[in-house]
Amino acid sequence: MKTSEANLIRKLRRAAPKSRPNSGIALGIGDDAALFISKKGYQTILTCDWFLEGTHFLRDRHPADSVGWKSLARAVSDIAAMGGRPRCFLLSLALPEELTGRWLDQFLGGLRRASRKLHCPLVGGDTTRQQRVLINITVVGEVRQNQALLRSGANPGDVLYVSGHLGEADLGLQRLRSKTRIAKNDPALKRHLYPTPRLALARWLADQRLATSMMDLSDGLSTDLQRLCAASKVGVILHSNKIPKVSVRKWKSLPPPDPLELALNGGDDYELLFTVAPTKASRLPRSRQGVPLTAIGKITRNRAILLTPSDGRSKSLTSAGWDPFKVSNNRS
Amino acid sequence: MKTSEANLIRKLRRAAPKSRPNSGIALGIGDDAALFISKKGYQTILTCDWFLEGTHFLRDRHPADSVGWKSLARAVSDIAAMGGRPRCFLLSLALPEELTGRWLDQFLGGLRRASRKLHCPLVGGDTTRQQRVLINITVVGEVRQNQALLRSGANPGDVLYVSGHLGEADLGLQRLRSKTRIAKNDPALKRHLYPTPRLALARWLADQRLATSMMDLSDGLSTDLQRLCAASKVGVILHSNKIPKVSVRKWKSLPPPDPLELALNGGDDYELLFTVAPTKASRLPRSRQGVPLTAIGKITRNRAILLTPSDGRSKSLTSAGWDPFKVSNNRS
């Protein structure tokens, strides 16, 4: 079956919602560009994210439906990281002609489900042909003026918190890569394939003015925490026994991974990492809408990033999360 | 030399302007996302564009500096196409490690020049590693409420206009692909490597409320005109002798191309195609700030797209511009 760019755009247009009352979307797919109207008193958040075959997903391992879901969910997580709300997104898609049938339909199915769940309609983009699937997603969001939570706001003395449990998505990836048969409802697998950004929690933290700084965990705590500290020009003492880890049992023939190693260096968690002034820490509940909120360390003036084990001496924490330019770390 | 994502981001940050007084950019590179403040009474324009090695440029033919310039200029052209003004852009860049030195510096040099010339600062993006260079640019622009010029506004009876001359960029591409030595200041080559979107002209047309519809010519007149007509649900009679063509002389060993064929099917012109109501056509000058404005046809209720030669009968115009899904048309 031969396709053309026009046919492909028709398919994409069907994946976009028809009517958008009060959405702020004045013009969607089909023109040179999309038009968006911001609300008074709000800032516009802009973010974009690569999702590339061979780097971020494997065509023979990741279902097309998950590729669609995850490509949007992970980009929306950057909007959550600012304490914002997603408004719309642009999809840049390049793919081989043989994938413009069933694969594309399933991809768009997953993308449409994420789009509905995250209240973030498709409004435009660009398509072309390539031998490998290339995806780039731009998400436009909004946040009330002066309410955006930046990486740079942490102060010495602040308590460092994390939402949820860390390392489960990486466990799912290890199972997926093991080429062992996995149950479709395996929680770790689902966490890896269909992550959900912490939008409600992030907005609540911003609305309540509880956090001094925030980011989302996409590349692993050991790597992302360095970024937060660098932006805030601070250090941290991290307590390894306090980090909420995933429970790891022996699974099929795979040796059980180290939960701390998963929590520190596993990527794709899309949990929130944030700091709270010590005077406000008592206002933070232990969990919010079922999501645990755990104090895992303390921000320091000394710019070292130290990991304190339950027994023994603190040592410097090495960034060993996802870095596309580190050859040894070619994870998925 | 080994690099890391952090080093790459430092390089990109240096390519972004330091201070942005009154720019509306509240937060640039380095956080989870960028923050942008829209002006009251304006709509935000959103557009994104692929620029891929092997599809849109060739690493051994196109200077890195031109890849940087053109990747931004062509995306900004979509903002011009709406009658808008660019405000800022996001760069998604994937490249092989061996290009993170000199090639990247030259690429960023071209990008920075275009960014300054087009008043469109870099505010964020995403980077990763790939075997081939992949570029995706998102441009955010603005246009006064209800002043955006869409593809869908053409009415039967409107006069169809085009700016500039068509086909020169494609002539430049043919020379570049010929593997013959070309003078650096060859006008056709420069037009292909360093296009400039018609921002001032487009804004003037929008401000004066002269045009009923508009788009930019990126894939060739024969292809883009079909898009304008489809969006407006109209047809057109195009006069082949009125189309402003590039003057073609014999060049080195290359057979001189047909100027009409270049003008109809050559891509990368980034001229404006627009329609004007017949009652307003007399208000349109023959040229504006040195750019010729030429009436090339008339919009019709009958939805056929007809080309009328100076002698002989009208015939249906075939779309033969750039379509990435047409195998035979693998142009650059």
Q: How many CB pairs lie under 8 A apart between chains A and B?
A: 205
Q: What is the mean pLDDT of residues B171-176?
A: 91
CA neighbor of A289 nearest in space, from A268, A276, A272: A272
> Minimum mean pLDDT among A71-75, B21-25, B85-89, B323-327: which range?
B323-327
Residues in chain B with CB shorter than 8 Å from the CB of A56 are 128
Q: What is the pLDDT of residue B325?
A: 63
List, in order, residues 6 or more apart from A55 with CB less than 8 Å away: A324, A332, B94, B128, B129, B130
How far is CA B56 from each of CA A286, B50, B134, B193, B219, rounded to the nearest angstrom? 52, 8, 10, 11, 12
Interchain CB contact of A151 with B (< 8 Å): yes
- Residue B63's pLDDT is what? 96
**Residue A49 at interface with chain B, using a CB cutoff of 8 Å:** yes
Beta bridge partners of A275: A160, A213
Residue of A nearest to B133 (CA): A134
A69 has pLDDT over 60 = yes
Average pLDDT over residues A258-285: 96
CA distance B249 to chain A (A): 33
CB of A325 less than 8 A from some CB of B = yes
pLDDT tens digits along B292-305: 999 999 999 999 99
**pLDDT-wise least confident of B4-13, B103-112, B169-178:** B4-13
Q: Which residues of A touch B270 (CB under 8 A)?
A: none
Instruction: Find the range with the poorest average confidence among A36-40, A202-206, A215-219, B74-78.
Output: A36-40
Q: What is the DSSP string of B146-205?
A: T----GGG--TTPEEEEES-BSHHHHHHHHHHTTS---TT-HHHHHHHS----HHHHHHH
Q: Vertex B277, ends B275 and B278: CA angle to 5°?
A: 115
Backbone dihedral angles phi then psi of residue B47, each to the nearest 5 degrees: -150, 150
Q: Which residue among A84, A145, A324 sits closest to B129, beta carbon to beta carbon? A: A324
Q: Determine the pLDDT at residue A47.
A: 94
Q: Does A71 touch chain B (CB under 8 A)?
A: no
| CA quadruple A194, A198, A199, A204: dihedral, nearest 10 | 160
Residue B5 to residue B11: CA distance in whole angstroms: 10
pLDDT of residue A328: 41
The distance of A107 to chain B (nearest Cα, Å) reads 19
A304 touches chain B (CB under 8 A): no
Q: Residue B329 has what pLDDT?
A: 38
> How far apart are the CA of A328 and the nearest CA of chain B, in angstroms?
12
Q: What is the ipTM of this complex?
A: 0.90
Report the percent of chain B where pLDDT is more than 90. 72
Is residue A254 over pLDDT 80?
no
Is A303's pLDDT higher than 80? yes
B326 chain-A contacts, CB cut-off 8 A: 4
Which among B46, B127, B318 is the top mutation candidate for probing chain A, defined by the most A β-carbons within 10 Å of its own β-carbon? B46
pLDDT at residue number B270: 97
Nearest to B32 among A33, A43, A82 (CB): A82
3-class secondary-structure state, position A72: helix
Q: How does pLDDT run across B45-54, given as a tens digit for each residue? A: 999 999 999 9
Distance CA B72, CA B272 (A): 17
pLDDT band (50, 70, 90) for residue A31: confident
Give A-chain residues touching B148 at CB under 8 angstroms.
Answer: 26-27, 35
Shortest CA gap A156–chain B (Å): 20
Tokens of B114: 């275009």
Find the closest chain A residue to B37 by CA distance: A43
Q: Is the Cβ of A31 closer than 8 Å to some Cβ of chain B?
A: yes
Average pLDDT, chain B: 89
Average pLDDT, stretch B171-196?
A: 90
Q: Which residues of B touch A331 (CB under 8 A)?
A: none
Among A64, A67, A50, residue whose Cα is nearest residue A322? A50
Neighbouring C-beta atoms of residue B233, cutoff 10 Å: 12
pLDDT digits (tens, 9 = 90+) for A121-157: 998 889 999 999 999 999 999 999 889 999 999 999 9
Check residues A325 and A188 and name the one with the higher pLDDT: A188
- The mean of the pLDDT values for chain A is 89
Least confident of A232-236, A250-254, B77-81, B201-205: A250-254
Q: What is the pLDDT of residues B222-267, one digit of tens each?
A: 999 999 999 999 999 999 999 999 988 776 777 788 999 999 999 9
Among A48, A97, A134, select the one facing B138 at the smallest CB separation. Answer: A48
